[in-house]
Amino acid sequence: TPKNAPYFFMGPALFLIIIFTIYPVISSFILSFQEVRGVEKTFVGLSNYTRLFQDPIFYKSLLNTFQILIVQVPLMLFLALLIAVGLHSSMVKFKSLFRIAYFMPAITALVAASIV
């Protein structure tokens, strides 16, 4: 019926989201409370989390991650914006050549994968 038509279109996408996003998140959360040795899984409660928060390497990696986030993300956004403005500017000569040189690696990878 026309009332149910949107659900038929959303169904496959919702199914894929559940299978590839929601299920792995829930599975990982449940697995975080277990200790795995080979095929055996034993419930250990919060001991994995207490061990994690007592590990100095965890805090070092967290600090490294935030440093990369604070430095790299704004820098890469600025450079991407600069390149986009440069490729769109009318003052740049051989604009099409620069566009081809910039996008060629992405295009060739897609073409090679589709040919294979």
Q: What is the mean pLDDT of residues 8-37?
A: 95
In the structure, what pLDDT confidence band is assigned to residue 41 with cuts at 50, 70 and 90?
very high
pTM (two decimals): 0.58
Domain ranges of the chain: 1-54, 73-116
Task: Tell me the torsion sign for CA atoms 73, 75, 78, 84.
Answer: negative
Query: Residue 42 region, left (φ>0) first, then alpha (ψ -120 to 50), else beta?
Result: beta
| Residue 25 half-sphere exposure toward CB, CA atoms < 13 A | 6
In the structure, what pLDDT confidence band is assigned to residue 76 with cuts at 50, 70 and 90?
very high
- Is residue 65 over pLDDT 90? yes
- Tell me if 39 sits within 8 A of 56, measured CB to CB: no
- What is the spatial distance between Cα 24 and Cα 11, in angstroms, rounded to a whole number? 19
In the structure, what pLDDT confidence band is assigned to residue 66 with cuts at 50, 70 and 90?
very high
Q: What is the pLDDT of residue 103?
A: 82
